[in-house]
């Protein structure tokens, strides 16, 4: 039995829905052995996390019972297993396999065979290869008995052949998972390919025997991984059209084989999110807004009825809304989204992963800069900069430094600004520039801190930025922050929000 801390048990209790809690209480009430567990559950249920370490007489007394934490944890999980017994496909198959074993043990061989064949068919339809392997292990025992009774449904040779085919299919999925993981690792390390060498890396993947075409995919599951990996490569090659094609193929495949959505719900959401991102990057805000609304509908889909997937839908859709409203110049619509996100962060607490939080904070900072609310922007930027995990979203870590410089400039904190520019230079010594734009921004603010004629500096840099933005790669930097609009606002003496609103108004028609 794994050791469970009171905090971990408390987290589990807090994660239960009302109906789950009700079900736990109902099942616990029928077993007198679990009375102490039930009592501890009641005590912890209403206790906020902050009160957990404070002394509570009843809890202290209950904790004296040996293994009470572990037992309560187990009893809750047991009630959860029963609660979800019918609704989770994998549980149902597992229970059916258990029925097979029971029928076999009870020497009900005919019925065992009948159920086995039916179950195997179902497992094949859902490509549950590991379960089929397990079913075959029961079938081998059954076959041995059947042969002795002179019944020949199949031969052991056929079963072994079948088993080998399943292993090959599983290995094929393993190979594709590995390929996906490698691409994903590269993606996490370095968000976008810039140099020819970096492009080459992704081209190598795309042209590898495994990923060149679908001929090496031995199952539909493999096909999902195939599309996903290719889509990721195109995404990093900034080929949005090919990226959309691959993700759309993946969605089409999964929509026509719903078991794949249940098998890979996160990948499905990721594909939807990527198609949305393509529309956002293409500034098709109207289409993007419609997609977001459809995306929100997925919350009701049973395949996504888990906390982590609900969270994923929440983060993807709210980030999408933030982006279209911020980049599309509709900051008024974005502010309620921020409030909603903050409320949800409070509810979900540490269940939202660091990466998602970083993205939220980064987008919040952008929004408030565009809205001219620099104090609020600073608040979120500090939250982002205080995250010290250098492995996570290096791109955001770079651009947040530039946001910080802008904010200090806007808040007229010039002495600090000089120091920040210096530290940013130091930061880039160990961190190569992803974009020329980044260096240009640093140089621009360096000049601005020392010049008496800032207007001239702004005008010079507007020209330089316009030139730089002719390079499609550099344009990406402008997705992180609309530097061009920012400099234009300075040159024209208009708020950045107004500049963006005007620039983006046509994009709300497509």
Partner 1 sequence: MKPSNLLFDIIKSLNNEEVKYFRKVSSLQQGEKNYIKLFNYISSLEEYDEEMVKVHFKNETFIKHLPSEKNQLLHHVLKSLRHFRIENNSVAQINEKIKNIQILFNKSLYKQARKVLNEVKEQAYEYELFYYILEIIDLEKVVIDMEAHFGQITNITIEKLIEEEVDIYKKIEQLTHFEKLLSRLHQLSAKLLFVRTKEDVDEIEKILNDATLLNGEETINSQKSFITALHIKGLAARLLNKPEEMFDAFQSLIFSMENNPSLISELPKNYVQAHGYVVRYYAIKRMYTDGFKTIDKLKALWLDPAFKSTDLQIAIFSNSYINEMLLYAYIGQHDKAKNVIPAVIKGLERYEAKINEEELLRIYQIITMVYFGVGEYSKALHWVNRIINSNYAELRQDIIRISKLINLIIHFELGNEDLLPYIYKSTVRFVASLDDSYKFEQHFLEHFKKIALSKREGKQTQSFVKFKEEMQNVFKDKYEKNALEYFNFYAWLDSKIHNISFSDAIKIRKQNMA
Applying CB under 8 A, which of residues 163, 198, 395, 447 lies at the interface with partner 1?
163
Task: Identify which of residues 9 and 420 has a Cβ nearer to partner 1 in the complex.
Answer: 9
Is residue 165 a contact point for partner 1 (CB under 8 A)?
Answer: no
Site for partner 1 in 30-49 (CB under 8 A): 30
Is residue 134 a contact point for partner 1 (CB under 8 A)?
Answer: yes
DSSP letter for each residue of 221-239: HHHHHHHHHHHHHHHHTT-
Q: What is the dihedral of CA 262, 266, 269, 273, to 10 degrees?
A: -170
C-alpha–C-alpha distance, residues 75 and 72, integer Å: 5
Task: Identify which of residues 310 and 449 has a Cβ nearer to partner 1 in the complex.
Answer: 310
Is residue 105 a contact point for partner 1 (CB under 8 A)?
Answer: yes
Q: Are 300 and 340 in contact (CB under 8 A)?
A: no
Binding mask 230-269 for partner 1 (x = CB under 8 A): ------------------------------------x---
Is residue 70 a contact point for partner 1 (CB under 8 A)?
Answer: no
Task: Identify which of residues 94 and 379 has a Cβ nearer to partner 1 in the complex.
Answer: 94
Cα distances from 156 to residues 153, 165, 367, in angstroms, run: 10, 14, 66
Residues 6 or more apart whose Cβ sits within 8 Å of residue 402: 424, 438, 441, 442, 481
Applying CB under 8 A, which of residues 41, 104, 202, 480 lies at the interface with partner 1?
104
Closest contact distance (angstroms) between CB of 395 and partner 1 is 16
Helices 220-236, 240-256: inter-axial angle, 10-degree rounding: 160
Residue holding tokens 């019972």? 65
Number of residues located near partner 1, criterion CB under 8 A: 77
Listed residue (332, 392, 398, 324) closest to 363, CA to CA? 324
Is residue 451 a contact point for partner 1 (CB under 8 A)?
Answer: no
Is residue 209 a contact point for partner 1 (CB under 8 A)?
Answer: no
Task: Identify which of residues 23 and 433 has a Cβ nearer to partner 1 in the complex.
Answer: 23
Site for partner 1 in 377-436 (CB under 8 A): 389, 391-392
Is residue 333 a contact point for partner 1 (CB under 8 A)?
Answer: no
Listed residue (233, 176, 227, 160) closest to 201, CA to CA? 233
Listed residue (296, 251, 305) closest to 278, CA to CA? 251
Task: Identify which of residues 75 and 417 has a Cβ nearer to partner 1 in the complex.
Answer: 75
DSSP letter for each residue of 450-484: H-S-HHHHHHHHHHHHHHHTTSHHHHHHHHHS-HH
Is residue 171 a contact point for partner 1 (CB under 8 A)?
Answer: yes
Instruction: Centre a 10 Å sphere on the Cβ of residue 44 and count the other Cβ atoms it contains.
Output: 22
Closest contact distance (angstroms) between CB of 87 and partner 1 is 11
Task: Identify which of residues 359 and 371 has a Cβ nearer to partner 1 in the complex.
Answer: 359
Task: Identify which of residues 79 and 404 has a Cβ nearer to partner 1 in the complex.
Answer: 79
Is residue 89 a contact point for partner 1 (CB under 8 A)?
Answer: no
Closest contact distance (angstroms) between CB of 31 and partner 1 is 8
Structure tokens belonging to residue 358: 């970083």
- What is the 3-state secondary structure of 68-114? HHHHHHHHHHHHHHHHCCCCCHHHHHHHHHHHHHHHHHCCCHHHHHH
Site for partner 1 in 174-193 (CB under 8 A): 174-175, 177-178, 181, 188
Is residue 208 a contact point for partner 1 (CB under 8 A)?
Answer: no
Is residue 492 a contact point for partner 1 (CB under 8 A)?
Answer: no
Residue holding tokens 């809690």? 21
Closest contact distance (angstroms) between CB of 28 and partner 1 is 11
Is residue 471 a contact point for partner 1 (CB under 8 A)?
Answer: no
Is residue 301 a contact point for partner 1 (CB under 8 A)?
Answer: no
Closest contact distance (angstroms) between CB of 102 and partner 1 is 5
Applying CB under 8 A, which of residues 80, 89, 382, 449 lies at the interface with partner 1?
80
Is residue 87 a contact point for partner 1 (CB under 8 A)?
Answer: no
Residues 6 or more apart whose Cβ sits within 8 Å of residue 59: 6, 40, 43, 44, 47
C-alpha–C-alpha distance, residues 505 and 485, integer Å: 14
Task: Identify which of residues 272 and 424 has a Cβ nearer to partner 1 in the complex.
Answer: 272
Is residue 347 a contact point for partner 1 (CB under 8 A)?
Answer: no
Structure tokens belonging to residue 474: 């550099």
C-alpha–C-alpha distance, residues 223 and 467, integer Å: 42
Applying CB under 8 A, which of residues 64, 149, 415, 429 lies at the interface with partner 1?
149
C-alpha–C-alpha distance, residues 435 and 471, integer Å: 11
Q: Are 355 and 397 in contact (CB under 8 A)?
A: no
Closest contact distance (angstroms) between CB of 85 and partner 1 is 9
Instruction: Centre a 10 Å sphere on the Cβ of residue 476 and count the other Cβ atoms it contains.
Output: 18
Applying CB under 8 A, which of residues 160, 439, 451, 456 lies at the interface with partner 1?
160
Please identify, among the stretches 242-250, 286-294, 350-358, 415-423, the one whose residues bind partner 1 according to the rule CB under 8 A: 350-358
Q: What sign for the dihedral angle of Cα 341, 346, 351, 354?
A: positive
Q: What sign for the dihedral angle of Cα 43, 44, 50, 52?
A: positive
Structure tokens belonging to residue 338: 């921020």
Applying CB under 8 A, which of residues 354, 425, 463, 494 lies at the interface with partner 1?
354
Is residue 22 a contact point for partner 1 (CB under 8 A)?
Answer: no
Is residue 299 a contact point for partner 1 (CB under 8 A)?
Answer: no
Is residue 167 a contact point for partner 1 (CB under 8 A)?
Answer: yes
Please identify, among the stretches 58-66, 139-147, 203-211, 247-255, the one whose residues bind partner 1 according to the rule CB under 8 A: 139-147
Applying CB under 8 A, which of residues 58, 61, 87, 106 lies at the interface with partner 1?
106
């Amino acid at each position: 039995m794994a050791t469970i801390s009171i905090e971990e048990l408390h987290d589990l209790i807090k994660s239960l829905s009302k109906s789950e809690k009700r079900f736990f209480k109902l099942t616990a009430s029928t077993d007198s052995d679990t009375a102490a567990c039930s009592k501890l559950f009641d005590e912890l249920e209403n206790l906020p996390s902050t009160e957990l370490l404070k002394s509570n007489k009843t809890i202290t007394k209950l904790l004296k019972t040996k293994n009470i934490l572990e037992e309560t944890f187990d009893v809750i999980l047991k009630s959860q297993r029963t609660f979800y017994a019918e609704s989770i496909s994998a549980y149902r198959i597992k229970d059916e396999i258990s029925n097979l074993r029971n029928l076999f043990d009870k020497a009900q061989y005919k019925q065992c065979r009948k159920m086995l064949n039916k179950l195997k068919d179902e497992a094949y339809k859902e490509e549950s290869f590991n379960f089929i392997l397990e079913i075959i292990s029961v079938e081998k025992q059954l076959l041995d008995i059947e042969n002795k009774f002179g019944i020949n449904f199949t031969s052991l040779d056929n079963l072994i052949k079948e088993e080998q085919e399943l292993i090959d299919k599983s290995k094929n999925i393993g190979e594709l998972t590995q390929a996906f993981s490698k691409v994903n690792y590269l993606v996490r390390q370095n968000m976008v390919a810039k140099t020819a060498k970096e492009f080459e890396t992704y081209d190598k993947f795309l042209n590898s025997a495994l990923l060149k075409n679908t001929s090496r995919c031995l199952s539909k599951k493999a096909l999902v991984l195939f599309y996903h990996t290719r889509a990721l490569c195109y995404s990093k090659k900034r080929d949005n059209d090919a990226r959309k094609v691959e993700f759309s193929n993946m969605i089409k495949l999964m929509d026509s084989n719903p078991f794949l959505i249940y098998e890979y719900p996160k990948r499905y959401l990721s594909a939807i999110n990527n198609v949305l991102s393509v529309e956002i990057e293409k500034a098709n805000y109207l289409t993007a807004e419609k997609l977001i609304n459809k995306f929100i509908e997925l919350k009701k889909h049973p395949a996504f009825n888990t906390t982590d997937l609900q969270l994923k839908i929440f983060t993807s859709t709210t980030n999408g809304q933030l982006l279209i409203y911020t980049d599309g110049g509709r900051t008024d619509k974005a502010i309620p989204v921020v409030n909603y996100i903050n409320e949800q962060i409070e509810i979900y607490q540490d269940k939202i992963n660091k990466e998602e939080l970083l993205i939220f904070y980064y987008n919040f900072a952008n929004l408030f800069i565009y809205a001219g609310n620099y104090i609020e922007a600073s608040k979120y930027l500090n939250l982002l900069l205080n995250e010290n995990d250098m492995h996570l979203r290096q791109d955001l870590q770079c651009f947040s430094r530039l946001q910080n410089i802008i904010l200090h400039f806007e808040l007229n904190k010039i002495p600090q600004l000089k120091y920040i520019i210096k530290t940013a230079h130091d930061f880039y010594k160990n961190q190569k520039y992803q974009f020329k734009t980044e260096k240009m921004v640093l140089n621009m603010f360096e000049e601005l801190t020392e010049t008496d004629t800032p207007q001239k500096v702004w005008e010079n840099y507007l020209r330089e930025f316009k030139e730089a933005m002719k390079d499609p790669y550099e344009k990406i930097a402008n997705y992180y922050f609309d530097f061009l609009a920012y400099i234009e606002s300075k040159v024209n003496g208009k708020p950045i929000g107004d500049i963006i609103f005007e620039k983006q108004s046509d994009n709300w028609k497509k």
